[in-house]
Amino acid sequence: MSNTATQLNELIEITRDGKRFYEHARDEVKSGELKTLFSNMSQAKSNVIIALEKRVAANQETPASGGTLTGKVRQVYADTRAALSSDEEATYIAQLEEAEDRILHAFEDAMETKDPDLRADLVAEMPKVRACHDLMRDLKKAQ
């Protein structure tokens, strides 16, 4: 597998972790407003994943289909904290904001690539990644 495909697949897996976490949190919270927000954030992650998968496939490589162990552990940790917390929704928001940090940092690290085509693809996705990150950061601060 090429270095470009490997980098893209790592981003796909990390972004998929976020998507799955939003879907899980959506099913756990009671607030209709948060359910809608988490659904929208999950869809935003899907859009980024699809764009990255197309780039991997265009290089005759196989896109990653799973997530990471770190993502699964983070979700279990959030569930445990939410169960012990008096404010389950604030716990999920805080943990989702941390997941957004992880995604943003992974994209920022990947943008240091010397491959101009990969960099162009990442630059195209960064506004979506940053917007999701900033939304969750602002939501966490408002809590």
Token pair, residue 8, equals 């893209």
56-79 pLDDT, tens digit each: 999 889 888 887 767 677 677 667
Place of tokens 């969750």: 136
pTM reported for the whole predicted model: 0.89
Residues 6+ apart with CB under 8 A from 107: 11, 122, 125, 126, 129
CB 98 within 8 A of CB 132: no
115-125 pLDDT, tens digit each: 888 899 899 99
Residue 131 structural domain: 3-142
CATH number at residue 39: 1.20.1260.10
Q: How many domains does the chain have?
A: 1
Task: Identify the burial level of 112 via C-beta atoms within 10 angstroms of its C-beta, where 0-12 means exposed, 13-18 middle and 19 or more buried.
Answer: exposed
Q: Above 90 in pLDDT, residue 86? A: no
Q: How confident is the model at residue 104 (pLDDT cuts 50, 70, 90)?
A: very high
Residues 6+ apart with CB under 8 A from 24: 75, 79
